[in-house]
Homo-oligomer: A and B are copies of this chain.
């Protein structure tokens, strides 16, 4: 926030304006992609001078953060399912994965910014809560959460690669017809030319990571 109002503010009607800006920005991103969110573009979209955004929100960095955070607040309200706390930990992870891909332009916007974790802010809190319910507390809960979210984030980045243009994808994938690949098994060489079954790989890996971090469920029959 630059100077405007904010949470600590006196209210007035500036708060309304700031929210308007963020909502419009979010709509712009979802409709036309992360790179459409420029100060000038957003300003004309709002019928306002560019500098008005600076007054209400701040510079582009702050705009992006605020937009992503706003999105995270919406998405974080999704209820979590699962009969056991461990199941609910898994479910939060799947929720982050799913919503990140559903709103991939917001995800991309967040990634461009190093704020990859932000759009799942509320969901991270939820995960910490469920981890506590499994008996993982304190620094262990934090580290467990970071391990899970790091892996989820990595899979999301991998999944977003599917949106690249064919040429860009080609340019940035491992080349099996290259120099050093000749000693690979032909089956492996051929498999490497095709994309992985990411959803299935994600699910399997997620389970392994959660297993490594959450103690074995000793009272599986306790919750119904």
Residue ranges of A at the interface with B (Cβ–Cβ < 8 Å): 61-62, 65, 111-118, 121-122, 124-125, 128-129, 132, 137-139, 141-143, 146-147, 149-155, 157-158, 160-161, 164, 168, 171-176, 178, 180-181, 183-185, 187-188, 190-192, 194, 196-198, 200-202, 204-205, 207-209, 211-213
Contact = CB atoms under 8 A, between A and B. Distances in A.
A124 to B, nearest CB: 5
Nearest to A1: B171
B172 A115 contact: yes
Give the number of copies in the complex.
Answer: 2
A146 B114 contact: no
A15 to B, nearest CB: 17
Contact of A205 (B158, B168, B198, B209): B209
B61 A168 contact: yes
A78 B160 CA distance: 29
B142 A196 contact: yes
B194 A204 contact: no
Given A154-B153, A157-B150, A160-B114, A142 B191 contact: yes
A146 to B, nearest CB: 4
Contact of A141 (B154, B172, B175, B191): B191
A154 to B, nearest CB: 3
Contacts of A164: 114
Contact of A65 (B139, B161, B172): B172
Contacts of A204: 147, 212
A157 to B, nearest CB: 6
- Most B Cβ at <10 Å: residue of A141, A154, A175: A154
A63 to B, nearest CB: 11
Given A137-B185, A184-B129, A146 B208 contact: no
A209 B205 CA distance: 6
